[in-house]
Amino acid sequence: MAVFTYRSAEFHYSDTGSGIAVVFLHGFLENQSMWKDLISAIPKKYRAITLDLPGHGQSHNLGYIHTMEDMAEVVKALMNELKLKKAFLAGHSMGGYVALAFAEKYPDFVRGIILQNSTARADSHTKKLDRDRAIALVKENPKSFVRKSIPNLFRPKNRITMREVVTWVKKEALKTSPQGIVAALEGMKIRPDREVLLHFAPYPVLFIAAQNDPILPFKTLESQLKAEKVTPCVTENGHMGHIEDSEKVCKSLLSFLAANT
């Protein structure tokens, strides 16, 4: 693990392998450890970079609202630190929102985007109200919010069969600072729609959607899977595909990388 500084805050990352770079961006309440199974299956000819996003894992907060653009600037600062001119960005859920924010602002630095259990759409009105309710719960009792949220990310049957994994994810999620949780919720709530990128981006997009995702209903993703720039991949996972079936997600990622390098 290594550390770099951006706007006086410390950010933790790791950098393994060499060659074509893939920057992995975790989801809300997660941190870079969530990628461990996937990364261990990636051949060393790829450079795999993971990062704790602001307020998550061991990384510091930047403020009280972390917009997806703020988080994308941290990704850019890391690429500057590593002197990376171009990379694939692989984002899980909120990490996908960050990847799209990065790609919109810095298209020349993007080789391709991998969206896993994510969406290019903005929050619906109902979802924004859910975010406000979540923010109130976090302010009241952050630990209870985290403990209740994590199992709901998994496919119902996996909550039982993968009980130990769910407990581990919960333990990691509890490392997210309460300020970081609220700042991410506020940031996700105000993110713009970026679906246009799926149609007109100058780079390819792998879109991995899951039929049993309890957070992002599959029917809201179907038309995004048909967009011009998108290579679709449909799994039977819940919201945590990189953990629930890392083999399938990795296989799809590697064939996308091979087809686009």
Question: Which stretches of the chain bind ligand MLT, using CB under 6 A?
Answer: 27-28, 93-94, 188, 215, 239
- The least CB distance from residue 52 to ligand MLT, in Å, is 14
Nearer to ligand MLT, 116 or 252 (CB): 116
Which of 67, 69, 66, 54 lies closest to 6 in space, CA to CA? 54
- The least CB distance from residue 96 to ligand MLT, in Å, is 8
- The least CB distance from residue 209 to ligand MLT, in Å, is 14
Distance CA 108, CA 130 (A): 35
CB 181 within 8 A of CB 138: yes
Q: What are phi and psi of 204, to 5 degrees?
A: -80, 155
DSSP-assigned letters across all residues of 107-127: GGGEEEEEEES--SSPPPHHH
- The least CB distance from residue 134 to ligand MLT, in Å, is 9
Nearer to ligand MLT, 46 or 117 (CB): 117
Nearer to ligand MLT, 47 or 90 (CB): 90
User: Strand locations in the chain, DSSP E?
Assistant: 2-6, 9-16, 20-25, 46-51, 87-92, 110-116, 205-210, 230-235
Nearer to ligand MLT, 78 or 215 (CB): 215
Nearer to ligand MLT, 15 or 213 (CB): 213
- The least CB distance from residue 92 to ligand MLT, in Å, is 7
